[in-house]
Amino acid sequence: MNKSNIGWLFAVIALAILLIVSIILGVNGYFFSMSFTKLNSDISVGKTSTIEVLPDEASVLSFTFDGSYLPNEKIPQKIQISAKNAENDTLIRIKAKVFGDAIEEKLEFSTTENFNFDGEYYYYKDVLGVGGKVLFCDYIQIPLENNFSSKEKYILTIVVESAENSEENQQKWGIAV
């Protein structure tokens, strides 16, 4: 072996080592990313999400979305409220907000006929019975005039407040069921 071949031999060995390292890192990165794609956020767009409630508690459902949605765009999202583990009939009200980089936006919901919007809450018109379910919305609509930046991430938070069905709680919430 002469001195002119040593440079080529070193380059081939270095490239082979870099190829092996990049394959190992690529395979590890693939499996790492696959493990994170199997994690579910609270809401999976396009699928029905269920919020379980118990009387006299608040339940929260939230998900992160980017600001690339267009004004007046409808995001298909079914959200249902369930009292599967409740022991008593329950009054329900829902509040939703979007939080992000110096923004507090309200989104519009295509609610079912079972809900009335009053002030900042969506009130369930009836009483949710023990083990009952009710569909809150079919889709979420981006406001016509929004301040979302396509480069930012936002958090939609849906808070479901519940109270045991009683005359006192109905008066507190200002509803008549």
Q: DSSP per residue over 64-88, as a string? A: EEETTPPTT-EEEEEEEEE-TT-SS
**Average pLDDT rounded to a whole number, residues 71-78:** 80
Confidence of residue 36 (pLDDT cuts 50, 70, 90): very low
- Whole-number pLDDT of residue 17: 92
Distances (CA, A) of 99 to 30, 49, 105: 32, 20, 7
Say yes or no to pLDDT of 59 above 50.
Answer: yes
Is the pLDDT assigned to residue 41 strictly greater than 50? no
Mean pLDDT of 138-162: 78
Burial of 142 (0-12, 13-18, 19+ CB in 10 A): buried
> What is this structure's pTM?
0.66
